[in-house]
Amino acid sequence: MSSTWTLPDDLVKPEVPDFFPAPGDPLPQHWSKCFGCGDDQPAGMAMSFTAGENCSVTGRLEVAKRYQGGPGVIHGGILSSAFDEVQGTACMILAVPVVTAHLEVDFARPIPLGAVLEFRARLEGTVRRKVYTSSEAYIVEGPGADPNTPVATSRGLFLTVSSEHFAPTAAFVDGVPTSPFETSAV
Ligand SMILES: CCCCC/C=C\C/C=C\C/C=C\C/C=C\CCCC(=O)SCCNC(=O)CCNC(=O)[C@H](O)C(C)(C)COP(=O)(O)OP(=O)(O)OC[C@H]1O[C@@H](n2cnc3c(N)ncnc32)[C@H](O)[C@@H]1OP(=O)(O)O
């Protein structure tokens, strides 16, 4: 992997709040129309997530034929979206809205259509409003399955925002936004 990403020295690891699901339990989608996780988004990726230990989450994506980029392989933008989604979901532990400020991806191996990807992601820590995350993707079922060799990795910087952040785009919302854990304003 070729990233030059470095974590700051003054990272703060958040406490896991009481409302957060126990390790092994499913995490809720953050909003039903989300392209990444929503169950009311037919064009979306319908990712699912499980809580882990120490601010980690696991995500699952089935690589459908419609996600094709190069012949027979996943589109890099779809893979990047999946990383964005799982690393954003790791930020749920903060119980405030976040948006992606920076996302980088290293594509290590071709990922065939029909593969099932497992994303092992974590919230590394926070500095003020900045939330540092990282993730690795593994093929765990289907063609190329090898649960020990990462096929791609990602690092992401998210920023916590207030609910007012979404006010300018409220008129374009397609549906009624839900609140995961009833803790978030969006
Ligand atoms: C799709 C929305 C999802 C919302 C979900 C909300 C709630 C649900 C609860 C939890 C989440 C659960 C699941 C989420 C799952 C998936 C998430 C997908 C998220 C997305 O897909 S979301 C779409 C793409 N995303 C955007 O649409 C953002 C557009 N953008 C902006 O809205 C602004 O750009 C913003 C707000 C990012 C910053 O603006 P700002 O004015 O608030 O902050 P400011 O500039 O002052 O920076 C403060 C400190 O961050 C540093 N900093 C800033 N940007 C940086 C960068 N790029 N690189 C390195 N450092 C950076 C500065 O250097 C400074 O650092 P320092 O503190 O050290 O001074």
Q: What is the mean pLDDT of each run of 10 residues along the chain (186 residues)?
A: 83 93 95 92 95 97 97 98 98 95 97 98 98 98 98 98 93 78 47
Q: Which domains does the chain have, with CATH numbers?
A: 48-182 (3.10.129.10)
Could you give the ipTM of this predicted complex? 0.93
CA of 90 from ligand 1 middle (Å) equals 14
Contact between residue 156 and residue 99 where contact means Cβ atoms under 8 Å apart: no
92 CA: nearest ligand 1 atom: 10
Instruction: Output the pTM of the full model.
Output: 0.94
Contact between residue 98 and residue 131 where contact means Cβ atoms under 8 Å apart: yes
Pocket-forming residues, ligand 1, beta carbon under 6 Å: 30, 36, 84-85, 88-89, 91-92, 97-102, 128-130, 157, 159, 161, 180, 184, 186
100 CA: nearest ligand 1 atom: 25
CA of 109 from ligand 1 middle (Å) equals 29
**What is Dmax (Cα atoms) for the chain?**
46
User: What pLDDT shows up at residue 1?
Assistant: 54
